[in-house]
Amino acid sequence: MCGIVGAVAERNVVQILLEGLRRLEYRGYDSAGVALINNDDLSIVRRIGKVKELADAINDKNGKGTTGIAHTRWATHGGVTELNAHPHASQARFAVVHNGIIENHATLRTELKAKGYTFVSDTDTETIAHSIAAQMEISGDLLQSVLTAVKTFEGAYGTVVMDKQTPDKLVVARSGSPLVIGLGIGENFLASDQMALLPVTRRFIFLEEGDVAQITRDSVEIYDINGDQVEREIIESTVEHDAGDKGGYRHYMLKEIHEQPTVLRNAIKGRISQDGLQQGIFGEGADEVFKQTDYVKIIACGTSYHAGVTAKYWLEQYANVQCDVEIASEFRYRRSFVPQNALLVTISQSGETADTLAALKLAKQSGYMSSLSICNVDGSSLVRESALSFLTRAGAEIGVASTKAFTTQLAALLMLTLALGKHKEMPTETEQQIVEGLIGLPTKLEETLGLAIEIEDLAEEFSDKHHSLFLGRGEQYPIAMEGALKLKEISYIHAEAYASGELKHGPLALIDAEMPVIVVAPNNELLEKLKSNVEEVRARGGIMYVFADKDAHFESDETMRVVQVPHCNETIAPVVYTIPLQLLSYYVALIKGTDVDQPRNLAKSVTVE
């Protein structure tokens, strides 16, 4: 989703800004722009399409400035046009970039128009630019104007403002959309994501909700929600600088699929051994909380939600703890009941998903005993807002379609199952099975990745298809859901997932030779039931692709193509069976020639609701 980069320096900052935007491209966007102050001149260049189009439009005349802001836009209010792209200006003097949505923009627009401000775009963001200009008429001071103007904004914003009459300063404000300040020597930077700034600094200050900051070349002043000046901690980033490289792979998604054995090794390192789960891995006080936990509520969106649904099967079956899972955008707008001794678990790759964050804030006020965030980004809003946190250590994930973030979430949730099960008389045998499963998981995934060539060949059969059906049972049902999501996200083939016991209740009507049916079939206690479902499809002329354990005894024939998945311990089967489905969606998208890493209309981090 939208990305922000800003810089105030002695050197020309245009290349820093463009590189920052390139490093945020993975988030998904449809247009890009940059505003620069050179002496007293304000230049703004905007283009629809990729950052490359913007870079091509920059020349010696419009590409100079020691202070600048840049933006990649993912349209919410107003179509994808150059006029709607950021930065937006007021009075040819102030320039603004913004992530989020100003919900009361219509009211503000009417008020500002009445004051004589002329609007040239359909965006909510333009109201920020004119609001600042209006406040400047009163106070004459940029910081003061932002502090006052933000009080009139409803909704979410991460915004940066500059004024060509005070060229050595940027003023930034954060509420509901993340912003990070990057500290240089004699120059300072800011961005919506630290990834953008790793080529220029590793020292960061993460702004908190309600913060407003004034940034010059050699100073950073931060004011909290009450307008009081505050100090915020400086954090040395441990994120790898080259996390943005494709490492020889054709796409980030393929690289990230193949990284899974390594990141899974990291995810379990120091946390689990032959003796079981290590003490204290969920943070201080976690064990006390787990001891009292009788109910778990999981809240998440997208792929993270699928990890949550898988965990429900594990928590109830292995840990003997009741669990419900809900999509964050549903949870936040309905009344729900909180049982006694309830633990709230949020799952998120980014830790910045607007709906998940809002759901957490709401839940914190409604009687949950404690909150735990399972997240891939240290210092993210979700981690900071949760009482307990557990980092998944997947490393930066660039492909919009989540892969390694998902499998590390599953590993984290298996560890949570062990941690909770310990207090609920989990049988030693079950505990040992999960522990061994987790320890052997990286190797098992390496083995499973060996299916790539076979799956690449199979993907050919999907290239002319428009619809598909994914089937699974038990804890493989959410894996089927995740497989369907992957396929629709990147190949644009309509894909639906069903718990295969539901076939008779509707989807059988869709079966014909034009609709491939993908079946996830490990060798578990539901295998015989699943086999009956497969026969129902066969009897109606369906064509099936079955990912199965060798002991499941499926045979390829003219209606069924079987891919043998390495045999694995039942507890880790959902993680293992995720891999072939990721590979299938990747190779189908490759054949279809879609934009694998940045699929149309989608964003990596959804920071608006």
State the minimum distance, in angstroms, from the CB of residue 304 to ligand G6P.
4
Choice between 100 and 421, CB closer to ligand G6P: 100
Choice between 414 and 481, CB closer to ligand G6P: 481
Distance CA 65, CA 47 (A): 19
Name the DSSP class of 208: P
- Residue choice 38, 43, 348, 607 for contact with ligand G6P (CB under 6 A): 348
Choice between 178 and 474, CB closer to ligand G6P: 178
| Distances in whole angstroms, Cα of residue 513 to Cα of each of 7, 448, 509, 537, 559 | 57, 28, 12, 10, 9
Choice between 162 and 401, CB closer to ligand G6P: 401
Distance CA 528, CA 536 (A): 13
> Applying CB under 6 A, does 99 fall inside the site for ligand G6P?
no
Distance CA 197, CA 184 (A): 10
Kindly indicate which of the ranges 218-226, 295-303, 387-395, 491-499 contains the residues binding ligand G6P, using the contact rule CB under 6 A: 295-303
State the minimum distance, in angstroms, from the CB of residue 200 to ligand G6P.
25
Number of other residues whose CB lies within 10 A of the CB of residue 483 = 28
Kindly indicate which of the ranges 8-16, 118-126, 141-149, 346-354 contains the residues binding ligand G6P, using the contact rule CB under 6 A: 346-354
> Applying CB under 6 A, does 213 fall inside the site for ligand G6P?
no
State the minimum distance, in angstroms, from the CB of residue 364 to ligand G6P.
17
Q: Which residue is nearest to ligand G6P (CB)?
A: 302
Choice between 127 and 605, CB closer to ligand G6P: 605
Choice between 165 and 601, CB closer to ligand G6P: 601
> Applying CB under 6 A, does 90 fall inside the site for ligand G6P?
no
Choice between 405 and 543, CB closer to ligand G6P: 405
Choice between 158 and 167, CB closer to ligand G6P: 158
Distance CA 477, CA 520 (A): 8
269 given a catalytic annotation: no
- Strands 94-102, 155-163: parallel, antiparallel or unpaired by DSSP? antiparallel
State the minimum distance, in angstroms, from the CB of residue 300 to ligand G6P.
6
State the minimum distance, in angstroms, from the CB of residue 582 to ligand G6P.
12
> Applying CB under 6 A, does 408 fall inside the site for ligand G6P?
no
- Residue choice 302, 474, 478, 580 for contact with ligand G6P (CB under 6 A): 302
Q: CA angle, corner 384, sides to 602 and 187, nearest 5?
A: 80
364 given a catalytic annotation: no
What is the full DSSP assignment across 220-258?
EEEE-TTS-EE----EE--S-GGGGS-TT-SSHHHHHHH
Question: Which helix (H) or strand (E) segment is 155 a member of?
Answer: strand 155-163
Taking residues 480 to 499 in sequence order and writing x for each that binds ligand G6P by CB under 6 A, - otherwise, the string is --------------------
State the minimum distance, in angstroms, from the CB of residue 244 to ligand G6P.
17
Distance of CA 166 to the CA centre of its chain: 36
Subset of residues 378 to 407 that bind ligand G6P, contact rule: CB under 6 A: 400, 402
Contacts 24+ apart (CB under 8 A), 50-53: 50/25, 51/18, 51/21, 51/22, 51/25
Check whether the bond before 87 is cis (ω within 30° of 0): yes
- Residue choice 310, 349, 407, 598 for contact with ligand G6P (CB under 6 A): 349
Catalytic residue among 50, 64, 465, 604: 604
Size of the site for ligand G6P (CB under 6 A): 15
Choice between 305 and 587, CB closer to ligand G6P: 305
CB-CB contact of 607 with 2 (8 Å): yes
Kindly indicate which of the ranges 113-121, 123-131, 302-310, 383-391 contains the residues binding ligand G6P, using the contact rule CB under 6 A: 302-310
Distance CA 305, CA 323 (A): 13
Kindly indicate which of the ranges 203-211, 246-254, 298-306, 309-317 contains the residues binding ligand G6P, using the contact rule CB under 6 A: 298-306
State the minimum distance, in angstroms, from the CB of residue 6 to ligand G6P.
23
State the minimum distance, in angstroms, from the CB of residue 606 to ligand G6P.
5
Neighbouring C-alpha atoms within 13 Å toward the C-beta of 397: 31
Neighbouring C-alpha atoms within 13 Å toward the C-beta of 559: 12
Taking residues 131 to 160 in sequence order and writing x for each that binds ligand G6P by CB under 6 A, - otherwise, the string is ------------------------------
| Distances in whole angstroms, Cα of residue 332 to Cα of each of 372, 383, 511 | 17, 19, 37
Give residue for tokens 């703890």: 321
Subset of residues 570 to 609 that bind ligand G6P, contact rule: CB under 6 A: 602, 604-606
Angle at which helices 428-449 and 404-421 cross, to 10°: 170
Kindly indicate which of the ranges 41-49, 220-228, 342-350, 386-394 contains the residues binding ligand G6P, using the contact rule CB under 6 A: 342-350
Name the DSSP class of 95: E
Choice between 543 and 584, CB closer to ligand G6P: 584
Catalytic residue among 2, 301, 375, 568: 2
User: What would you report as the CA-atom Rg of the chain, rounded to the nearest whole angstrom?
Assistant: 25
Choice between 175 and 353, CB closer to ligand G6P: 353
State the minimum distance, in angstroms, from the CB of residue 393 to ligand G6P.
15
Kindly indicate which of the ranges 301-309, 388-396, 422-430, 472-480 contains the residues binding ligand G6P, using the contact rule CB under 6 A: 301-309
End-to-end CA distance of the chain: 12
| Distances in whole angstroms, Cα of residue 442 to Cα of each of 254, 347, 408 | 17, 22, 11
State the minimum distance, in angstroms, from the CB of residue 305 to ligand G6P.
7
154 token code pair: 């409803």
Question: If we measure between CA atoms, which residue out of 513, 289, 269, 228 comes closest to residue 411?
Answer: 269
- Residue choice 84, 188, 350, 476 for contact with ligand G6P (CB under 6 A): 350
| Distances in whole angstroms, Cα of residue 304 to Cα of each of 309, 332, 373, 601 | 9, 17, 12, 19
| Distances in whole angstroms, Cα of residue 165 to Cα of each of 34, 39, 131, 533 | 18, 9, 17, 71
State the minimum distance, in angstroms, from the CB of residue 301 to ligand G6P.
4
- Residue choice 18, 146, 254, 301 for contact with ligand G6P (CB under 6 A): 301
Could you give the residue numbers annotated as active site?
2, 604
Binding region for ligand G6P (CB under 6 A): 301-304, 348-350, 353, 356, 400, 402, 602, 604-606
